[in-house]
Structure 1
Amino acid sequence: MSFIEVFGYVGSFLIAVSLMMSNIVKLRWINLFGASTFAIYGGIIGAYPVMILNSFISMVDVYYLITIYTKKDYFSIVEIDPKHSFYLQRFLDFYKKDISKFFPDFNKEELIESKFVFILRNMIPAGLFIYNKISDDTIEIKLDYAIPDYRDFSLSKYFYSSEGDYLRGKGYKNLIVESSQPDHQKYLLKSGYERKEENKFIKYI
């Protein structure tokens, strides 16, 4: 198998992988690399229809990526009463399987006294944050979940930053999370948490 053939297969593989992405940003980036690779491959072997089609797809990906990164998103925070929210129950039921991937021990029935907060992105309930108050300045986070289409760290950046100011406004300075799930641990570290014990993380705001 020649290098050119391998190059073409790589392009095809990337395009196929992009179609399996639930995150639209990842889909566009991977599809861009795949289509660009396949366009170059088409040009090298003289398959100009392949080159033209994939060049067009690459330009479409670039257009939408520019739109995504320059679009102004509007965030807001809504506190929810878990005892009287039909939508909250539907939300938890719908995303139950996905939530269990990152929070295998999550059980809503054990969180009756917890605080439930929806994070809205352009008026869409894109994330759910659940916490328990430990002291006047410390909370333990039981759930910090973003739905798949909005899993790009924008929710956590808003919620934890001075822009959101929700937690600071309530006087909280220390956030504690216990997690043994590897992907969630990576998320916590990327979000500014410090590892204090093997499965215990803390963030100071």
Structure 2
Amino acid sequence: MSVTGTSRIDHVVMTSTIRLSLRGGEPFLPNLSSGPVPVRRYSRGMVWLEIVGWAGSLLVIVSLTQARVLRFRWLNLVGAVIATAYNAIVGIWPFAVMNGVIAVIDVYWLFRLHRERHDAEAYGVLEVPADDSVLRHLLDTHAPDIARFHPAFVAADPAPSAAFVVVRGDELVGAVVVRSAGDGVGRVDLDYVTPRYRDFTPGEFVYRDSGVFAAHGFRRLVVGGSSAPESSAYLERVGFHPTSDGWEREVPAAA
């Protein structure tokens, strides 16, 4: 026996509705007693729900490609929240719970990362010799990235007057290289942070301890050239102010 006319419409509507609407494990069916209900009304909602679900999955996938810690956590959080809502609506509870737990973990790490962002106890600054093997390893390993953001920096130039590496635990996260420009002026040739920590500003911990620059006879630090908007905001945060040909920062006398 074939299904024709309104019976066919009713059959499709009922099937679509059973997939979408579960209440307490029992199928929720539309009231068809007053006549056929257009399939379009139900299929449209189903399409939008599927789009939202795919968007959440896509965000989770994209987050896994991010090298930056904060960007990874934020994208992963948004994707996990969307995936949690989607799976809860369609009644796939194991995946809803799993994504909900992932979202909670992301919130925890975001809170911790933002709290430690400017915490001197989370980072360490080590002054190293110009020919230090650890510094050279960092410069060699990230040479293409350094050339991208600091095209004027040449590691083989005359030895810097001061060089620092920034560490978080046992991980190298950045380096600051300063050369003397004479008359108590130090030129910051490199203020670099590895991609993983680029959402942070570990270089600020070098500038906080101005005594290290005064010990080298510097009274003023300068950064030449124009900077990208994000670099300008960072330089302002660590005490630099704009000049006609770059940025500069006074170095307080050593206590």
Q: TM-score, normalised by structure 1?
A: 0.80
3-state DSSP class of the match of 2:174?
strand
1:153 and 1:115 map into 2 onto residues whose CA distance is 22
Secondary structure of residue in 2 paired with 1:159: helix
On the 8 A contact 1:156/1:191 being kept in 2, the answer is: no
Between the aligned partners of 2:242 and 2:102, the Cα distance in structure 1 is: 43
Query: 2:212 maps to which residue?
Result: 166
Check if 1:9 corresponds to 2:54: yes
Distance 1:119 1:148 in 2: 14
Instruction: Indicate if the aligned counterparts of 1:128 and 1:144 stay in contact, CA closer than 8 A.
Output: yes
Instruction: Tell me the equivalent position of 1:128.
Output: 175
**Aligned 1:85-104 pairs, distance under 5 A:** 85-104=132-151
Q: Which of 144, 153, 166 does residue 119 from structure 1 map onto?
A: 166
Paired AA for residue 15 in structure 1: V
Distance 1:57 1:36 in 2: 9
Residues 126-182 of structure 1: per-residue CA shift (max 9 Å, x gap): 2211111224542111111112223243412211225x6433554544321124563
In the alignment, structure 1 residue 138 sits paired with structure 2 residue 182:
no
Sort the Cα spacing of 1:89 and 1:156 in 2 relative to 1 into closer, same or farther, 3 A. Answer: closer
| Counterparts of residues 1-205 of structure 1 (less than 5 Å) | 2-69=47-114, 72-82=121-131, 85-162=132-209, 165-170=211-216, 172-179=218-225, 182=228, 186-192=230-236, 193-197=240-244, 200-204=246-250
Aligned partners of 2:69 and 2:199 also within 8 Å: no
TM-score (norm 2): 0.66
Distance 1:167 1:112, change over 3 A: closer
Percent identical: 25
1:124–1:136 CA distance, 2 compared to 1 (3 A): farther
Q: Determine the C-alpha separation between the residues in 2 that align with 1:9 and 1:200.
A: 46
Residue 178 of structure 1 aligns with an amino acid whose one-letter code is G
Could you report, residue by residue, the CA deviation over 1:68-127 in whole angstroms, capped at 9, with x for unpaired residues?
445641413222132xx3333322211111111101222112233543222233353322
Q: Provide the C-alpha distance between the structure 1 equivalents of 2:111 and 2:233, rounded to a whole number of angstroms.
A: 28
Gaps of at least 5 residues in structure 2 are: 1-43
- TM-align CA RMSD: 2.7
Instruction: Output the amino acid matched with 2:129.
Output: I
Q: Quick one: structure 1 residues 190 and 89, their matched pair in 2 at CA, closer, same or farther if it must change by over 3 Å?
A: closer
Partner of 1:31, secondary structure, is helix
Equivalent position SS for 1:73: coil
1:32 offset after TM fit, Å? 0.9
Q: Count matched residues.
A: 199
Q: Distance in 2 between matches of 1:169 and 1:113?
A: 14
| Cα separation, 2, equivalents of 1:186 and 1:26 | 15
Distance in 1 between the 2:92 and 2:191 partners?
Answer: 49
SS at match of 2:83: helix
135-144 or 110-119, larger mean C-alpha shift: 110-119
Q: State which structure, 1 or 2, has the greater radius of gyration over its C-alpha atoms.
A: 2
SS, match of residue 167 in structure 2: strand
Q: Which has the higher contact order (CA 8 A, sep 6+)?
A: 1
Q: Quick one: distance in 2 between partners of 1:203 and 1:17?
A: 39
